[in-house]
Amino acid sequence: MKQALRMLFGNQALYQNARCWSALLTLWGSSPVLEQSGLLTTLTLQATSFSFQKKVLRASDAILQELRLHGNATLPADLFFGPLGLEACLLLCTQAAREMLVTEFPWLTSLLDIILAFGKNLWVLKVFLEGVSKTPAIYEVIGMISRDLSYQKYTLLRLWQILGPDYVGELLCLLLGFRSIDLQTVGVLLTRLMVENLSQCPWAKSLDLHRLKALQTQQLDPPHHLQLRAFVSAFGKLVTAAVGALEGERVWWPCCRGSHPVVFVCVTSPS
């Protein structure tokens, strides 16, 4: 861990490269034992307690400061070499990536690699986004994510096909559950991406709509509330369409048209 951070802090080109940070985050979110093919085995780490996260993040700030000033740092043994050492290292990487994002944002061209590097460890992504949301860079971050979703949407859709509806549902609940309106916006952008690309989301009919419906009772920004309601309605219709297709019935299918987020067209499924 120390060697990797020293390398990044000592080389400006590497430090400003989002793929270097995504590789580091992926590494510390993976098993130390490789697959037979030589590939990393990503892990889904159990979320640690809030008090542990707070301790690690506080220690991380001191470690990163030491690295900047002296090019070396000491990792507290009780945090980084204990039973939660892997989780602590991933949090340290996350804090370092957040700091890089805030200071080097003008040099970055994409954030998607960093966001996807967290994999199914969405509790760590939450720590990362909460940290970013408290900085002035949040507005530029939302803009860059929006561009990523436009230019790299097929990359994201392919990954969702692999990770499945449980991951996507958890991600949506995470983003739309933030108090920050800016982070809620990211969740809304993802719902639009799915609605606009239904043919590439065959897993979408398995989304847990009950959890998404529950979010409608939270303090969402009014436009976001309307978008979420339209999204839940659309995917409720998708489930109905899937059932109707099996029974050869006429069903209403959600699609996009013009500037409207969701409309429905009537189709007849072959018997």
Mean pLDDT computed over 97-109: 88
Helix axes 181-196, 222-247, angle to 10 degrees: 30
Radius of gyration of the chain (CA): 21
Going by the DSSP 8-state scheme, the letter that residue 45 receives in this structure is: P
The partner residues of 267 in beta bridges, in order of sequence, read 251
Across all residues in the chain, what is the average pLDDT?
83
Q: What is the pLDDT of residues 124-141, one digit of tens each?
A: 999 999 999 998 889 889
High-pLDDT (> 90) share of the chain, %: 49
Q: What are phi and psi of 257, to 5 degrees?
A: -150, 120
Q: What are residue 201's phi and psi, to 5 degrees?
A: -125, 60
pLDDT, one tens digit per residue, over 215-224 is 766 667 677 7
pLDDT tens-digit series, residues 9-20: 999 999 999 999
Give the whole-angstrom CA distance, residue 173 versus residue 184: 10
Q: Could you please report the per-residue DSSP string of 31-73? A: -SSPPTTS---B--PPPPPHHHHHHHHHHHHHHHHHHHHHS--
- Tell me the backbone φ, ψ of residue 174, rounded to 5 degrees: -65, -50
Give pLDDT, residue 217.
Answer: 61
pTM of the model: 0.83
For 18-77, what is each residue's pLDDT tens digit? 999 999 999 999 988 888 888 888 899 999 999 999 999 999 999 999 998 988 889 999
Query: Cβ distance 151 to 111 under 8 Å?
Result: no
Using alpha carbons only, give the angle 29, 178, 65 rounded to the nearest 5 degrees.
50
* The two structure tokens encoding residue 241: 């369409």
What is the pLDDT, as a whole number, of residue 233? 74
d(CA 6, CA 96): 11
pLDDT value of residue 36: 80
Query: pLDDT tens for residues 161-170?
Result: 999 999 999 9
Q: For tokens 């805030």, name the residue.
A: 102
Bridge partners of residue 30, in order along the sequence: 42
Cα dist. 233→105, 157, 246 in Å?
A: 37, 21, 20
